[in-house]
Each structure stands twice: as C-alpha cells, then as structure tokens.
Amino acid sequence: MRLTRSTAAPPPLAGGNRSLRGSICTAILLALLLVLAGCGAEYPQSTINPHSDFAEIIHSLYVSIFWWTMLILAVVWVLLTYVVVKYRRKSEDEQPRQIRGHLGLEIGWTVGPALIVIAIAIPSIQAVFATQRPVSEDAMEVHVTGHQFWWEFHYPEQGITTANELWLPVDQPVNLRLHSNDVIHSFWVPKLGGKRDANPVPAVREGQDPKYNWLYFTPLQTGVFMGQCAEFCGQSHALMAMRVVVDTEEGFQDWVDRWFRSEGADFPTEAADFPSEGADSPSQALAEVAEYAAEYGNGAGDLDGSGVPVVATGNEVLPVQAASTHDDDPLVARGREVFLGSTCIACHAVQGTSAQGVIGPNLTLFGARHTLGAGIMENNRENLIRWIKDPMGMKAAVAMPGVDYPGGNWPATGLSDDEVEAIAVYLLSLK
Ligand SMILES: [Cu+2]
C-alpha cells in the first residue's frame, strides 16, 4: 500500500472530521477522569489500603513490584521506540538485513525474564515467611469457624462466642485459628491481611495436633473493616460477609464487660464451643439442644414458677439478675418471653438466658451488631422483622426456619406478626 498523502481536495465533510477528533479527545479526557476518580475513593475492601502489619507487608511487596515493572516498562518502551524509528522502512525497495538465529539474543531474552522472576520471588518468599512468623506470647487467640453461610468467633480466653462481627483491640497481636464446620471457606479481610482458608479439620488421634490454619496479625488502626468469604461454599457464598471492629483497648474491654453484663448471669461457655470441643456431630448437638429446649425452653425459662426467668448453668439453676438493658420496656420483656419460648433457642444462644443453642449465630449483644445475616444488610428493626419471618427470602439456603416454612431441620415457627416484632425489639435491645 502506498502511504503517500492524497493531494485531492478535502472531502466536503471536513467539519465532520474535526468534530470526530473532538469527540475522541472528549472520550479520552472522560476516560482519564474516570481513572482519576478511582484514586480518591475509599473502597471498603481494598488491599492497597493496609491497616495491619500483615496487610502492610503485602502492600509494600505490591508497591515495590509495581515500581520495578514500571521501570521495565519504561526500558521496553524506549527500546521499542528506538527500534521502530531507527529500523523503519526508508525507501520503497529497501530490504532489511536477513538474520536467522542469534545466540546472544536467545540467551538474553531467556536469562533476562528469569532474573526478573527471581527478583520477584525473593521478596515474595520473604513476605510469606514474614506473615507466618512465630506468634508472640501476648497474642490473643480467637477461634474462627466458617459455617454455611456465616462466621463464628470464639474467644477462649474471654469465654465469648459471637458471630459475623469480630471485635479486636487495636495494636494487640491476634492469632486466628481457622476452621470450618462444613465445606471449605476462606477468611478474607483485605485491609487486615491476606486470605486464608478455613478447612474442615478431621478428628485426630490422642496426642496428635489437628491441622488448623492460622492467621496472625496486629490491627494498627481502629475502625470497621469489611471482609468476605473468599472460597465458593454454596448457594449463599456471596452473602457470607463479615465485619472486623477494631476498637481501642478500653472499647474492647467494655465490649467484653457488656457481654457478661448483657443478661446478668454467668453462663457456661463450653456449650458454645461447637464443634471443635463440643458435640461430635451437628445431629448429636441438635438432639442435645432439642432435649435441653424440651426441658427448659418452654415457659420462658420460668423453671420455678416464680415469674422470674432462671438460667441453668451446668448443675445449678441461677436467677437472671439483670435482663437486657431496656427490660423496663414491656415489648422487650414480651419479646424475651416469646424468644425463650420458641424454637429459636434450639439454635441460638443469648448469654445469661436459657437460650444456648449452638447451631446458629450467638445472639448475645446482637443489638450492637452493625449488620444482619452475615454482613448482608443493616441491622435495624425493619430488616430484622423481615429476616425472622422469611430468612430464606433474604438469603438462599439459610438453615433457619421462617414463620411459614421449615428450615435447618426445624418446623415453621408459626409466630404472629406481633410476636415477631416483639422478638425483634428484644434482640435489638441486647447491646
Ligand atoms: Cu463461605
């Protein structure tokens, strides 16, 4: 093809050409704006906004590799431009020098990339070791259990079991023991560190250590950090989110204190440590809970007929000292009564009450949770009422019964609208 410029008169639509050029310019400017807009925003699940030592290790690796690749890019572009300009076709009949094979070049472009890969591998492997370093003595241990489709957090030192929102004190090393109750899940809170699988851990013989995955990091800033299950685990995998609430040391201690104050009485925590140290299988746990519910559940824990709810702790029965924070609200008291008298307690626990189910999320301090249904929606009265009536309508395959249909091996709850509302008000008062 001849690339000489046409000397013919410009076509009548020259003006159209100029406007075409104009719109290309506008498009480029808009695209640039779009790219720049990405720089300022605060993304909730961003790896390049680290807030823990672990996340900083990953981030600095990422940034250094980024700048090295920019350098390589610059070198490649300079060479490419040089070659394109220097060796361009200068005349019609010019033939470039014909070369077949070049040992130096072959070695060069094999060794060069190999060196680059090695250069990337060294800091990457260092980062792997740095994020798996020995755990410091003062690290706080939390046992994380993935369930279809929610997260359980058990604090063995504090004797707390909560769900979907992990509370941590800032600047305190934490060592998470990850494990799954069913299929493989993956724990990922991008601003606090890399993802790590939560696997089902098979039972082991006496004296052997079960193979848990661990995640060790120190949160460096207070705030609420979003996370997500990062391993496809079933129908509602995409709806298996979580929050990590990093609080000051005092704030965290206050949360722990409120936990035990929430419903007054001390309560055994072993029951909630399912399944690692508790029952052998979900069905056995369910049977135990059902037995328990049959014995203590109906009648709102009013075991001695005095009208004061009582709690069974192991062998003794203790009166509940202070109920929830708004117990003077009649709707709260009514909700508490309905809740403790319903099948809810077969699966859910509230610290200091006869509810000590371990199949579903622990609902102690539920009113202090920001979200409902494993991080998928705001925790407010309206959403909670909808959830109790129709959990599967909001989240597919949830193992919880609704008002009109069974779920998780339990029959439909058949609660009236008033009862559902009272339960919602009660649960939201727990904070
Ligand atoms: Cu999952």
Domain 270-429 adopts which CATH fold? Answer: Cytochrome Bc1 Complex; Chain D, domain 2 (1.10.760)
pLDDT in tens, 62-102: 999 999 999 999 999 999 999 999 988 888 887 888 888 89
- Provide the residue ranges of all domains of the chain, joining segments of one domain with +: 140-203+210-261, 270-429
Residue type, 413: T
Residues 398-428: tens digit of each pLDDT? 999 999 999 998 999 999 999 999 999 999 9
For residue range 177-235, list pLDDT tens digits in order: 999 989 999 999 999 988 999 999 877 788 888 889 999 999 999 988 999 999 999 99
CATH of domain 140-203+210-261: 2.60.40.420
Q: Is 319 exposed, middle or buried (0-12, 13-18, 19+ CB in 10 A)?
A: middle
Does the global pTM surpass 0.95? Answer: no
Predicted confidence at residue 263, as pLDDT, reads 56
What is residue 194's predicted lDDT score, i.e. its pLDDT? 82
Give CA–CA dist 131/410, Å, rounded: 43
pLDDT reported for residue 343: 92
The closest of 242, 192, 199, 195 to 217, measured between CA atoms, is 192
From ligand 1's centre to the CA of 147, what distance in Å? 7
- Rounded to the nearest angstrom, the distance between the alpha carbon of 180 and the centre of ligand 1 is 9
Do domains 140-203+210-261 and 270-429 share one topology? The answer is no
How far is ligand 1, taken at its centre, from the CA of residue 148, in Å?
A: 6
Range 341-367 average pLDDT: 90
Classify the C-alpha dihedral 366-368-372-373 as positive or negative.
Answer: negative
Interatomic CA distance for residues 289 and 297, integer angstroms: 10
- CA-only gyration radius of the chain, Å: 31
Higher pLDDT, 288 or 58: 58
CA atoms within 13 A on the CB side of 59: 15
Q: Are strands 213-217 and 174-180 parallel, antiparallel or unpaired?
A: antiparallel
> Prior bond to 252 cis, omega within 30?
no
Q: Are 304 and 310 in contact (CB under 8 A)?
A: yes
CB contact burial 176-194 (16+ within 10 A = b; e otherwise): bbbbbbbbebbbbbbbbbb
Beta bridge partners of 167: 245
pLDDT 10s digits, 158-176: 889 999 999 999 999 999 9
Taking the centre of ligand 1 as the mean of its atom positions, its distance from the CA of residue 200, in whole angstroms, is 12
Alpha carbon of 47 to ligand 1 centroid (Å): 20
What's the pLDDT score for residue 326? 52
Instruction: Give the confidence band of 307 by pLDDT, cuts at 50, 70, 90.
Output: very low
Q: Are strands 160-163 and 165-169 parallel, antiparallel or unpaired?
A: unpaired
155 C-alpha vs ligand 1 centroid, how far in Å? 21
- pLDDT for 262 beyond 80: no
DSSP secondary structure string for all residues of 86-103: HTS--STT--PPP----H
List all residues 6 or more positions away from 123 whose beta carbon is below 8 Å from its beta carbon. Answer: 61, 64, 65
- What separation in Å is there between the alpha carbon of 359 and the centre of ligand 1? 16
Tokens found for residue 77: 């572009």
Q: Which two tokens stand for residue 235?
A: 């129908």
Average pLDDT over residues 40-50: 76
